[in-house]
């Protein structure tokens, strides 16, 4: 059990973190105080063209220079700073959160069609698997992730998220079961511009992990959720699938339904299941995934985890609980329950 | 001096108080164990092969069978089997023949692997209430899809290769008409058609009476090319090139002339009564590029409409060989483990050559993935699949589907006596003698085989549901759902599974 929530303002009007903090606290029943986190898009307007590399350091004298070395091999660090935190009784600084604003040099990866993204992906995989005491947990442009082990309100106060503003927020209240409650294991999980919050357990993790690892991704966080970020990166960014199609690859219709479809549609879904069988995610889950263009929420194929959506004006909310959405926006309209496997998508208008 | 006789392998005894002298045992036994004389059943245990036909037919349960009733002096190295092999060869000077699968006491990896189930944190799925998908496609899959927008509609640009659609990931392997009887082959064919799966013809051609089931037949092209013509290739649902067999890697085949009756002769397209000898290598395949030519010419012959499989025995270097096959244009690679059955194989090959299917599949799947070509071919595992958990485990190790052989024969009555090569199968399975063949009723035998595959499919659904998986592709290669129990570290590294408790 975990509580998730995401909100997107389609006109890119920015919201501060107060609302989502309250919404996530509303779902404390779904958590255990061992992990919480937030992602915010539009957080760094002054550095919006730089990759915001967020790192948990265990120390600054050995791990940080090692990461700086790696980054400098592949590009330029425009600016870096300690992420401001306020230690308080509820939360102690187990790791030292740091952020780098980084510009990769595209000439260094000449074979790639998206060299900058590929350089950053390479750096994330390399740092997380080879530099002890350093974990990159967020690496997108204009995106910040704030997470730690603790209750959502404590994590929010620790990072002072009410001081950040963004046009898309996500939050997660964790009750860890199959992996320990550690800072790296808290959600959201992020790679490049992809962020994921997830409630559930992916029973196909072994299949998904072996599939994604054959494309150069390395799972390093001891938890099933990270494959979701990698799968979206592979299917949407690298294979160029539309977002809806990617969701249909991860939570496809049953063969019975496909057999009843008309010719062209049947052909498409059959092809999706054949090509992307190893990407199919099984087991109970409700997931919200975001990037700089959109936010999508969906559940497993038989909806073993709750997901509710609400709309008001340009805002779309997706959450585990209607109560959380109403906490954030008491006047929300159009509350609905998406069907199993059906994506609920919000896209920016501008 | 003479070696003399060796002790009895089996001792048959008849309970004369129970016996009602019906004579069914006499009729049943083609090996001549029983005779009636002066109101009494007499037995010659020396010719018994433990096929159990007499025991199954006796209405009074009056027959008893004991294995190795006479002890040798026990010795851990010089086992009775070893001693008897030596006596045999000292007498005959020949290669020893044997049937069925590997009879050595190697550890069974399947039995040291355990499956997973859900508790609390995720719900198990009840296949009686929720959909459970075992449908499996065998063939090449695209590694990515490309779409095009045409008038606002999404249109698929990627074209799909031909695939076989299986309703369950269980197929029946190649057992030729000749090695088994026509009644046996018909029974299997009816079962696979009814279930929605496939079976192999073996290298025995396609008998006319199997034509109604041709859409479920995988026609084999082996080194003897018996029965192969364009009619045969076009009738099959898929074509399989047989390079090797798990029971005798590196060898060809030999069907003795006694089994080549008129009907077998016309189906195989060889003279009646002549030995059918398949050479060890294909004489047009001396390396991987030659295989590629054969794959492509077969595809050309059938106008690229059907998948082509390549079957190899599981040997030390299977993974690299399979990667070569994946690049040859083949649509599936069949890996036949060293426990695979056979009608006849030299005992030393059956027992000493090749590797277990579990390790072979794990390394083939890993190799194909590391080279990014896993979607190029489906992997079919065969050789020693005994029950549904074996199917679940081998799929979790990376296979797409399995071939069963011995299990299907057992479902038709086979008692695994291992005497197939004598052509006297009392169950009407591995024989061409008309009176014995007539013992196998295809109506009953096909129902038995269907029941078996159906039952395994149900068990597989339950195992998947318990693991919180409702689609077979989420089990495939999902080694996280396996644990090794008392397997050594080296094997667990090859299988890429953790140990129990970890």
| Claim to verify: residue A35 and residue A50 sit in the same structural domain | no
Quick count: other Cβ atoms within 10 Å of Cβ A266? 14
On average, the pLDDT of chain B sits at 95
User: What is the mean pLDDT of the segment spanning B476-492?
Assistant: 96
Which pLDDT value is given to residue A1?
73
Which pLDDT value is given to residue A280?
97
Going by the DSSP 8-state scheme, the letter that residue B5 receives in this structure is P
| Claim to verify: residue A289 and residue A172 sit in the same structural domain | yes
Which pLDDT value is given to residue A317?
98
User: What is the mean pLDDT of the segment spanning A254-261?
Assistant: 96
**Is there a common fold for B10-71 and B137-142+166-499?**
no
Contact A6, A295 (CB under 8 A): yes
- A179 touching B (Cβ < 8 Å): no
| Claim to verify: residue A167 and residue A186 sit in the same structural domain | yes
Q: Is the pLDDT of residue A234 over 80?
A: yes
Four-residue CA torsion sign, A194, B375, A245, A316: negative
Enumerate residues 101 to 120 of chain B having a beta carbon within 8 A of any beta carbon in chain A: 118, 120
Quick count: other Cβ atoms within 10 Å of Cβ B39? 7
pLDDT in tens, A199-227: 998 999 999 999 999 998 888 777 788 89
Contact B364, B335 (CB under 8 A): yes
User: Which of B201, B195, B273 lies closest to B232, judged by CA?
Assistant: B201
Candidates A210, A256, A270; nearest CB to B131: A256
Question: Residue A49 domain-assigned?
Answer: yes
Which pLDDT value is given to residue A83?
97
Parent domain of A102: 44-141
Compute the nearest-CA separation of A234 from chain B (Å). Answer: 10
pLDDT in tens, B330-362: 999 999 999 999 888 899 999 999 999 999 999
Contact A252, B436 (CB under 8 A): no
Closest-approach residue (CA) in chain A for B373: A214
Q: Is the pLDDT of residue A194 over 70?
A: yes
- B489 touching A (Cβ < 8 Å): no
Compute the nearest-CA separation of B142 from chain A (Å). Answer: 5
Enumerate residues 286 to 305 of chain A having a beta carbon within 8 A of any beta carbon in chain B: 301-302, 304
Compute the nearest-CA separation of A284 from chain B (Å). Answer: 6
Which pLDDT value is given to residue B413?
97
| Claim to verify: residue A212 and residue A308 sit in the same structural domain | yes
Which pLDDT value is given to residue A176?
83
Compute the nearest-CA separation of B389 from chain A (Å). Answer: 18
Query: Confidence band (pLDDT; 50, 70, 90) for A111?
Result: confident
- B326 touching A (Cβ < 8 Å): no
Tell me the DSSP string of A199-236: EE--TTHHHHHHHHHTTT----SSSTTHHHHHHHIIII
Burial of residue A162 (CB within 10 Å: 0-12, 13-18, 19+) is middle
Which pLDDT value is given to residue B4?
80
User: Which of B418, B388, B393, B415 lies closest to B404, judged by CA?
Assistant: B388
Q: What percent of chain A has pLDDT over 70?
A: 99
Question: Residue A125 domain-assigned?
Answer: yes
Return d(Cα B360, Cα B338) in angstroms, integer: 10
User: What is the mean pLDDT of the segment spanning B376-398?
Assistant: 97
Candidates B122, B370, B374; nearest CB to A203: B122
Which pLDDT value is given to residue A347?
96
| Claim to verify: residue A246 and residue A329 sit in the same structural domain | yes
Task: Give domain B10-71's CATH number out of 3.30.70.20, 3.40.640.10, 3.30.565.10, 1.10.1740.10.
Answer: 3.30.70.20
Q: Is the pLDDT of residue B421 over 60?
A: yes
Which pLDDT value is given to residue B318?
97
Q: Which CATH number do you get for residue A121?
A: 3.30.70.260
Question: Residue A148 domain-assigned?
Answer: no
B414-417, long-range: CB within 8 Å, 24+ apart, which pairs? B415/B50, B415/B51, B415/B52, B415/B53, B416/B100, B417/B49, B417/B50, B417/B51, B417/B52, B417/B99, B417/B100
A241-244, long-range: CB within 8 Å, 24+ apart, which pairs? A241/B145, A241/B147, A242/B147, A242/B154, A243/A294, A243/A296, A243/A343, A243/A345, A244/A343, A244/A345
User: Which of B155, B164, B166, B161 lies closest to B143, judged by CA?
Assistant: B161
- A274 touching B (Cβ < 8 Å): yes
Q: What percent of chain B has pLDDT over 90?
A: 89
Quick count: other Cβ atoms within 10 Å of Cβ A132? 10
Interface test with B, best of A210, A231, A303 (most B CBs within 10 A): A210
User: What is the mean pLDDT of the segment spanning A6-15?
Assistant: 97
| Claim to verify: residue A250 and residue A288 sit in the same structural domain | yes
Q: Which helix (H) or strand (E) holds A50?
A: none
Find the catalytic residue in A2, A91, A134, A196. A2
- A273 touching B (Cβ < 8 Å): yes
Q: Is the pLDDT of residue B325 over 60?
A: yes
Total domains present in chain A: 2
CB-based contacts of B195: which residues, under 8 Å, 6+ apart? Answer: B167, B168, B450, B453, B454, B457
| Claim to verify: residue A223 and residue A176 sit in the same structural domain | yes
Closest-approach residue (CA) in chain A for B468: A283
Candidates A177, A267, A271; nearest CB to B121: A177
Contact A134, A57 (CB under 8 A): yes
Active site residue A2: yes
CB contact under 8 A, A207 and B476: yes
* Strands across the sheet containing B482-484: B113-115, B482-484, B498-499
Q: Is the pLDDT of residue A179 over 80?
A: no
Candidates A206, A255, A278; nearest CB to B133: A255
How does B316-340 read in b/e, with b if 16+ C-beta sit within 10 Å?
eebbebbbbbbebbbbbbbbbbbbb
Contact A282, A227 (CB under 8 A): no
Name the 3-class secondary structure at A246: helix
Q: Rounded to whole angstroms, what are the CA distances from B493 to B362, B380, B475? A: 10, 22, 19
Enumerate residues 38 to 77 of chain A having a beta carbon within 8 A of any beta carbon in chain B: none
CB contact under 8 A, A268 and B154: yes
Question: Residue A151 domain-assigned?
Answer: no
User: Which of B237, B224, B198, B216 lies closest to B382, judged by CA?
Assistant: B198
- A264 touching B (Cβ < 8 Å): yes
Candidates B133, B141, B153; nearest CB to A274: B141
Structure-block tokens of residue A193 = 């511009």
CB-based contacts of B159: which residues, under 8 Å, 6+ apart? Answer: none
CB contact under 8 A, A206 and B145: no
Q: Which CATH number do you get for residue A200?
A: 3.60.20.10
Contact B457, B166 (CB under 8 A): no
User: What is the mean pLDDT of the segment spanning B455-463?
Assistant: 98
Closest-approach residue (CA) in chain B for A175: B121
Interface test with B, best of A2, A211, A282, A301 (most B CBs within 10 A): A282
Reported in sequence order, the residue ranges of B7-152 that DSSP labels E, i.e. its strands, are: 10-14, 34-36, 41-43, 63-67, 97-98, 113-115, 136-138, 147-150
pLDDT in tens, B241-278: 999 999 999 999 888 788 888 999 999 999 998 888 89
Candidates A240, A255, A284; nearest CB to B123: A284
Q: Rounded to whole angstroms, what are the CA distances from A107 to A76, A103, B97? A: 13, 12, 66
- B478 touching A (Cβ < 8 Å): yes
Closest-approach residue (CA) in chain B for A1: B121
Q: Note the pTM of the prediction, 2 decimals.
A: 0.94
Q: Is the pLDDT of residue B456 over 60?
A: yes
Q: What percent of chain B has pLDDT over 70?
A: 100
Contact B251, B280 (CB under 8 A): yes
- B470 touching A (Cβ < 8 Å): yes
Contact B285, B292 (CB under 8 A): no
Structure-block tokens of residue B349 = 């090959």
Query: Confidence band (pLDDT; 50, 70, 90) for B465?
Result: very high
Distance of CA B336 to the CA centre of its chain: 8
Query: Confidence band (pLDDT; 50, 70, 90) for B122?
Result: confident
| Claim to verify: residue A112 and residue A179 sit in the same structural domain | no
Residue boundaries of the structural domains of chain B = 10-71, 137-142+166-499
| Claim to verify: residue A97 and residue A239 sit in the same structural domain | no
- A222 touching B (Cβ < 8 Å): no
| Claim to verify: residue A12 and residue A104 sit in the same structural domain | no
- A122 touching B (Cβ < 8 Å): no
Which chain A positions have a beta carbon within 8 Å of B469's beta carbon?
A: 203-204, 282-283
User: What is the mean pLDDT of the segment spanning A74-93?
Assistant: 93
pLDDT in tens, B135-170: 999 999 999 999 998 888 889 999 999 999 999 999
CB-based contacts of B406: which residues, under 8 Å, 6+ apart? Answer: B100, B101, B341, B386, B414, B416
Closest-approach residue (CA) in chain B for A280: B474
| Claim to verify: residue A129 and residue A252 sit in the same structural domain | no
Closest-approach residue (CA) in chain B for A257: B131
Name the 3-class secondary structure at A183: helix
CATH number of B137-142+166-499: 3.20.20.70
CB contact under 8 A, A207 and B130: no
Query: Confidence band (pLDDT; 50, 70, 90) for A82?
Result: very high
3-state secondary structure B266-303: HHHCCCCCCCEEECCCCCCCCCHHHHHHHHHHHHHHCC
pLDDT in tens, A117-171: 999 999 999 999 999 999 999 999 999 999 999 999 999 999 999 999 999 999 9
3-state secondary structure B161-204: CCCEEECCCEEEEECCECCECHHHHHHHHHHHHHHCCCEECCCC
Name the domain boundary from A90, A112, A141: A141
- A261 touching B (Cβ < 8 Å): no
Q: Is the pLDDT of residue B72 over 90?
A: yes
Return d(Cα A301, Cα A299) in angstroms, integer: 7
Going by the DSSP 8-state scheme, the letter that residue A56 receives in this structure is E
Question: Residue A146 domain-assigned?
Answer: no
Compute the nearest-CA separation of B373 from chain A (Å). Answer: 9
Range among B2-16, B93-107, B367-381 rated most confident? B367-381
Query: Confidence band (pLDDT; 50, 70, 90) for B1?
Result: low
| Claim to verify: residue A260 and residue A303 sit in the same structural domain | yes
User: What is the mean pLDDT of the segment spanning B10-26?
Assistant: 97
Which chain A positions have a beta carbon within 8 Å of B478's beta carbon?
A: 204-207
Name the domain boundary from A77, A107, A141: A141
């Amino acid at each position: 059990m975990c509580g998730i929530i995401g909100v997107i303002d389609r006109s890119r009007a920015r919201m501060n973190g107060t609302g989502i903090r309250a919404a996530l606290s509303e779902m404390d029943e779904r958590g255990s105080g061992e992990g919480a986190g937030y992602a915010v898009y539009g957080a760094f307007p002054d550095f919006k063209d730089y990759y915001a590399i967020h790192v948990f350091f265990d120390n600054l004298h050995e791990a940080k220079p090692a990461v700086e070395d790696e980054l400098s091999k592949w590009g330029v660090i425009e600016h870096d700073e300690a992420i401001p935190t306020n230690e308080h009784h509820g939360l102690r600084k187990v790791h030292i959160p740091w952020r780098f604003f980084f510009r990769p040099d595209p000439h260094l990866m000449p074979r790639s069609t998206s060299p900058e993204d590929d350089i950053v992906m390479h750096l994330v995989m390399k740092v997380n698997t080879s530099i002890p005491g350093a974990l990159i947990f967020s690496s997108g442009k204009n995106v910040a992730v704030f997470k730690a082990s603790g209750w959502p309100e404590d994590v929010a106060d620790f990072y002072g998220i009410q001081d950040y503003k963004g046009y898309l927020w996500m939050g997660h209240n964790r009750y860890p079961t199959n992996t320990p409650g550690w800072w790296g294991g808290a959600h959201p999980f992020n790679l490049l511009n992809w962020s994921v919050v997830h409630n559930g357990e992916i029973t196909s993790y072994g299949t998904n992990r072996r599939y994604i690892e054959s494309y150069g991704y390395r799972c390093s966080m001891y938890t099933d959720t990270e494959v979701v970020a990698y799968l979206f990166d592979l299917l949407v960014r690298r294979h160029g699938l539309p977002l809806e199609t990617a969701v249909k690859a991860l939570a496809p219709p049953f063969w019975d339904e496909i057999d009843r479809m008309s010719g062209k549609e049947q052909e498409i879904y059959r092809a999706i299941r054949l090509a992307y069988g190893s990407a199919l995610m099984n087991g109970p889950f409700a997931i919200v995934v975001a990037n700089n263009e959109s936010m999508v929420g969906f559940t497993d194929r038989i909806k073993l985890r709750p997901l509710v959506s609400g709309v008001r004006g340009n805002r779309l909310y997706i959450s585990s609980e209607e109560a959380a959405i109403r906490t954030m926006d008491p006047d929300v309209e159009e509350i609905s329950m998406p069907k199993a496997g059906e994506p609920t998508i919000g896209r920016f208008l501008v | 001096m003479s070696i003399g006789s060796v002790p009895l392998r089996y001792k048959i005894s008849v309970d004369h108080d129970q016996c009602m002298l019906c004579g069914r045992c006499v009729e049943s036994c083609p090996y001549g164990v029983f005779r009636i004389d002066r109101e009494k059943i007499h037995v010659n245990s020396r010719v018994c092969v433990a096929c159990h036909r007499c025991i199954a037919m006796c209405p009074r349960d009056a027959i008893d069978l004991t294995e190795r009733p006479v002890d040798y002096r026990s010795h851990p190295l010089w086992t009775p089997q070893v001693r008897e092999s030596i006596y045999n060869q000292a007498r005959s000077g020949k290669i020893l023949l044997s049937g069925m699968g590997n009879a050595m006491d190697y550890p069974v990896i399947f039995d040291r692997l355990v499956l997973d189930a859900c508790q609390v944190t995720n719900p198990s799925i009840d296949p009686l209430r929720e959909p459970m998908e075992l449908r499996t496609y065998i063939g090449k899959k695209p590694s990515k899809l490309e779409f095009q927008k045409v008038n606002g509609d999404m249109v698929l640009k990627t074209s799909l290769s031909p695939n076989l659609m299986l309703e369950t990931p269980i197929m029946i392997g190649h057992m030729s008409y000749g090695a088994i009887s026509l009644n046996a082959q018909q029974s299997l064919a009816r079962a696979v058609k009814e279930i929605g799966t496939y079976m192999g013809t073996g290298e025995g051609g396609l008998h006319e009476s199997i034509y109604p089931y041709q859409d479920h037949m995988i026609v084999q092209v082996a080194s003897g090319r018996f029965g192969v013509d364009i009619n045969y290739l076009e009738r099959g649902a898929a074509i399989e090139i047989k390079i090797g067999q798990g029971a005798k890697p590196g060898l060809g085949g030999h069907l003795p002339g006694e089994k080549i009756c008129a009907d077998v002769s016309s189906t195989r397209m060889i003279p009646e009564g002549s030995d059918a000898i398949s050479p060890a290598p294909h004489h047009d395949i001396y390396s991987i590029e030659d295989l590629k030519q054969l794959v492509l010419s077969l595809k050309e012959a059938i106008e690229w409409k059907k998948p082509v499989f390549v079957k190899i025995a599981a040997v030390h270097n299977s993974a690299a060989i399979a990667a070569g096959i994946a690049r040859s244009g083949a649509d599936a690679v069949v890996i036949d483990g060293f426990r695979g059955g056979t009608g006849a194989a030299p005992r030393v090959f059956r027992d000493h050559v090749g590797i277990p299917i579990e390790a072979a599949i794990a390394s083939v799947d890993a190799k194909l993935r590391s080279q990014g070509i896993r979607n190029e071919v489906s992997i079919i595992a065969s050789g020693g699949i005994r029950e549904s958990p074996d199917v679940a485990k081998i799929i979790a190790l990376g296979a797409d589907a399995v071939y069963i052989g011995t299990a299907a024969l057992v479902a038709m009555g086979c008692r695994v006596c291992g005497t197939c090569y004598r052509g006297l199968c009392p169950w009407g399975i591995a024989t061409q003698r008309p009176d014995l063949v007539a013992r196998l009723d295809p109506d009953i035998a096909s129902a038995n085989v269907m029941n078996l595959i159906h039952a395994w499919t149900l068990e597989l659904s339950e195992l998947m549901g318990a693991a919180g998986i409702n689609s077979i592709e989420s089990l495939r290669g999902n080694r996280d759902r396996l644990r090794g129990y008392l397997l050594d570290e080296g094997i667990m590294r090859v299988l890429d599974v953790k140990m129990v408790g970890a």
